[in-house]
Amino acid sequence: MPAITRAPAVAGTFYPATPEALRAQVDALLAAAPVAPALACPKALIVPHAGYVYSGPIAASGFARLAPFGDRIERVVLIGPAHRVFVHGLASPGAERLATPLGEVAVDTAALAEAGIGDDARAHAREHALEVELPFLQRVAPRAQIVPMIGSRATAAEVGAVLEQLWGGPETVIVVSSDLSHFQPYRAARAHDERTADRILDREIDLEGDDACGAIGINGLMWVARRRRLRVELCDLRNSGDTAGRRDEVVGYGAFALYEVAS
């Protein structure tokens, strides 16, 4: 029986539809990302998920921190918000592979089953939150299987418990997909996003949807970050008015890296 593959839904809109153009854009974004000397691999990232012309540079600032360690990353737990269909808790796409113009990525279906994550192919079918992260992962961690999950409503503890179950060791990285504030004037958005960034750096677990559309994943990750005393680093904080859009209504983007601290 052939494997079920989740087809790309936003190739040609959020990012290029041809392999050559997509590879060139992702590689250029990663090359331009300012990165400090790679002393340790992040255990987790928070990265945005808009069209690459808007949020690509900010996302690249997070993913570039994984690149020096890509040969050891075997699994990426990828969690984001459900924009189109309400999902109570978390749901997987019910697929064994995820496709982008760069090829197909294997889904760790065994991990999803062990974590008790059900399928909702309809919710994933047109969802962009996870899809736009895949080309970056294909370039920086080409050996990794993906554990894909989206959700609309769940507590920080509920999501955190799933992340704890999937935590693994150095072979596993967590990626939370989230934009920040939406459709505010530039200065108001900057102030709002700076407050949100401070709350993430303080590992708060009560972000709301108007702070970050992927609050469900961020709060769950912060729940774990508190328990495990992870160090949180701000990689980049900008909005669409800084990259490619108008400034009367902007969308905020932040990238954060979280590190395990040796005891």
pTM score = 0.97
Reduced to 3 DSSP states, what percent helix, strand and coil does the chain have, rounded to the nearest 5? 35, 25, 40
**What are the beta bridge partners of residue 153?**
88
pLDDT band at 165 (very low <50, low <70, confident <90, very high): very high
Distances in Å between the Cα of 63 and the Cα atoms of 32, 66, 67, 91 are 12, 5, 7, 24
pLDDT band at 263 (very low <50, low <70, confident <90, very high): low
Higher pLDDT, 123 or 245: 123
Residue 11 falls in which region: left (phi positive, over 0), alpha (psi -120 to 50) or beta:
beta
| Least confident residue range of 26-40, 137-151, 179-193 | 26-40
Instruction: Report how many domains make up the chain.
Output: 1
In the prediction, which pLDDT does 39 show?
80
Which residue range is the domain that position 130 belongs to? 5-259
Evaluated on CA atoms 133, 107, 144, 229, the torsion sign reads: positive
Task: Check: CB of residue 91 under 8 Å from CB of residue 121.
Answer: no
In the prediction, which pLDDT does 261 show?
86
d(CA 240, CA 258): 24
Q: How many CA atoms lie within 13 A of 13 on its CB side?
A: 9
End-to-end CA distance of the chain: 48
Task: Check: CB of residue 48 under 8 Å from CB of residue 253.
Answer: yes
Percent pLDDT > 90 in the chain is 95
Mean pLDDT, residues 215-237: 98
pLDDT band at 1 (very low <50, low <70, confident <90, very high): low
d(CA 162, CA 170): 18
Q: What is the chain's mean pLDDT, rounded?
A: 96
In the prediction, which pLDDT does 235 show?
97
| Count of C-beta atoms within a 10 Å radius of residue 247 | 13
Is the confidence at residue 38, as pLDDT, over 90? no
| Count of C-beta atoms within a 10 Å radius of residue 85 | 15
The CATH number assigned to the domain holding 218 equals 3.40.830.10
Is the confidence at residue 92, as pLDDT, over 70? yes
Task: Check: CB of residue 141 under 8 Å from CB of residue 26.
Answer: no
pLDDT, tens digit, for every residue of 68-77? 999 999 999 9
pLDDT band at 142 (very low <50, low <70, confident <90, very high): very high
Beta-sheet strands, E only, within the chain: 5-6, 44-47, 75-81, 90-92, 97-100, 103-106, 118-119, 145-151, 172-177, 182-184, 231-239, 250-259
